[in-house]
Amino acid sequence: MTDDVLLVHGGNPLEGEIRVRGAKNLVPKAMVAALLGQGPSRLRNVPDIRDVKVVRGLLQLHGVTVRSGEEEGELILDPSHVESANVADIDAHAGSSRIPILFCGPLLHRLGHAFIPGLGGCDIGGRPVDFHFEVLRQFGATIEKHPQGTYLVAAQRLRGTKIELPYPSVGATEQVLLTAVLAEGDTELRNAAIEPEIVDLICVLQKMGAIISMGTDRTILITGVDELGGYNHRALPDRLEAASWACAALATKGDIYVRGARQLEMMTFLNTFRKVGGAFAVDDEGIRFWHPGGELNAIALETDVHPGFQTDWQQPLVVALTQAAGLSIVHETVYESRLGFTSALNQMGAHIQLYRECLGGTPCRFGQRNFLHSAVVSGPSKLLGGELVIPDLRGGFSYLIAALAAEGTSTVHGISLINRGYENFLEKLRALGAHVQLPSEQEMLATV
């Protein structure tokens, strides 16, 4: 489709105000949690992104009534009449999303069975879904794999269990939470993810009647209950989108006020932003990010699970680091293939070298496995417009930042992928003064 391409005329600072709403990494999961309740739930601060539309459609296929509330960005979800969905419909609606895997626990509790199609998602490294199925097996589910997907059956009520994650995976932690809350007895989850979005999901489940406690050592204890109700919840803001706009301000020498951004969940990012040479000011309504002038500083950076520097912050920041004076070292420890996006930046004029070794920090699980997971960024580099093909969600937005910081015009292919996690990003870019055009708009101008 021609409108999956964006023409970006770079070289101008982004200036103005945009707004971020609820976190992509919480809202779809909170929508799935509504399946567990006996009554309707009310979710507020919901962004208009593709992942929300996918989950809304999947819920409706399973008999959940989903409608917009009176407030902007509000959804009312009523699971009173949950039912089985047609396999082909599930497959068609899920598309490339990995979110259907999180339907397993709730559907096993409500219906006694579930079907999960083959799963997609961003190609940034391994996210083994088999581990999700192993977790469900420990709860007592029977699992059968077929060419069209995986069937799960719970012949009786699922039972609490003890699970220790080999790595504090967000998806696996969500799976355990959504399954354990209605399982019989206690569940102990060790080495759990503790991201702010996980904590917000726990808040949602507690509002529904769940009993969940968090230890200080990544241990989560869940006592199963017999029944859950609905919830009324305002989703926490999207700290990952907020950081992307902050990096756009830095790379383009701009000044952006991100309404809705919150300091608490972004403290690690804000420290790094300041070390690089960016400026920010926090108030009750959001955070202003700007380039204060002068040279940016090269830094050593290592991604990690929360409370470390989030992997989703890495790609947008790498674009800004191409404009910093000196050598920056980036060590990616969460997704082994996430630095692959840098090859396109080099074609635009950046100087980024990838390494298999663990550079500038602690040895990680990828160090002995031949993955190019460390980078040395030499700057400042003059970026020139070029042809860019979006590889994944965060890499895609990073390419937009690079195109906006570059001299000349870039053609960015695959922009629909950005809709997965960035609400109204074209309108926001234009509100900040970006010169961007869809091909259809260019054709209209040519005929005028």
Domains and CATH numbers, the chain: 5-20+237-447 (3.65.10.10), 27-234 (3.65.10.10)
Average pLDDT score over residue span 65-76? 97
pLDDT at 22 over 90: yes
State the CB neighbour count (10 A cutoff) for residue 295.
12
Contacts of 4 (CB under 8 A, 6+ apart): 413, 414, 415, 416
CB 143 within 8 A of CB 170: no
pLDDT at 441 over 80: no
Q: Is 230 left (phi over 0), alpha (psi -120 to 50) or beta?
A: beta
Torsion, Cα 38 129 373 339, to 10 degrees, reads: -60
Give pLDDT, residue 265: 97
Percentage of the residues of the chain whose pLDDT score is greater than 70: 95
Give pLDDT, residue 60: 95
The rounded distance, in Å, linking the Cα atoms of 128 and 216 is 27
Residue 86 assigned as binding residue = no
Give pLDDT, residue 325: 98
Residue 312 assigned as binding residue = yes
pLDDT at 300 over 90: yes
For the chain, give the secondary structure using H, E and C. CHHHEEEEECCCCCEEEEECCECCCCHHHHHHHHHHECCCEEEECCCCCHHHHHHHHHHHHCCCEEEECCCCCCEEEECCCCCCCCHHHHHHHHCCCCHHHHHHHHHHHHCCEEEEECCCCCCCCCCCCHHHHHHHHHHCCEEEEECCEEEEECCCCCECCEEECCCCCHHHHHHHHHHHCCCECEEEEECCCCCHHHHHHHHHHHHHCCEEEECCCCCEEEECCCCECCCEEECCECHHHHHHHHHHHHHCCCEEEEECCCCHHHHHHHHHHHHHCCEEEECCCEEEEECCCCCEECCEEEECCCCCECHHHHHHHHHHHCCEEEEEEEECCCCCCHHHHHHHHHHCCCEEEEECCCCCCCCCCCCCCCCCCEEEEEECCCCECCEEECCCHHHHHHHHHHHHHCECEEEEECHHHHHHCCCCHHHHHHHCCCEEECHHHHHHHHHC
The rounded distance, in Å, linking the Cα atoms of 387 and 413 is 8
pLDDT at 123 over 90: no
State the CB neighbour count (10 A cutoff) for residue 102.
24
Could you say which of 122, 247, 358, 364 is catalytic? 122
Structure tokens at 33: 């949690």
Structure tokens at 64: 């959940």
Residue predicted with more confidence, 122 or 318:
318
Query: Letter for the amino acid at 9?
Result: H
**What is the pLDDT of the chain when averaged over all its residues?**
93
Kind of pairing, strands 286-290 and 113-117?
unpaired
- Preceding peptide of 380 cis, ω within 30°: yes
CB 266 within 8 A of CB 197: no
Cα-to-chain-centroid distance, residue 17: 22
Active site residue 122: yes
Residue 130 assigned as binding residue = no
Closest residue by Cα to residue 434 from 405, 411, 414: 405
pLDDT tens per residue, range 209-219: 999 999 989 99
The rounded distance, in Å, linking the Cα atoms of 239 and 316 is 13
Residue 20 assigned as binding residue = no
The rounded distance, in Å, linking the Cα atoms of 109 and 43 is 22
Helices 393-405 and 311-321 sit at what angle, rounded to 10 degrees? 20
CB 301 within 8 A of CB 309: yes
pLDDT tens per residue, range 373-420: 999 999 999 999 999 999 888 889 999 999 999 999 999 999 999 988
Give pLDDT, residue 446: 56
Question: pLDDT-derived band of residue 57, with 50, 70 and 90 as boundaries?
Answer: very high
CB 221 within 8 A of CB 186: yes
CB 364 within 8 A of CB 358: yes
CB 54 within 8 A of CB 48: no
Residue 232 assigned as binding residue = no
Give pLDDT, residue 124: 43
Q: Using the structure block, give the residue that is written with the tokens 């004029």.
A: 349
CB 106 within 8 A of CB 77: no
pLDDT at 182 over 80: yes
Helices 50-61 and 87-94 sit at what angle, rounded to 10 degrees? 170
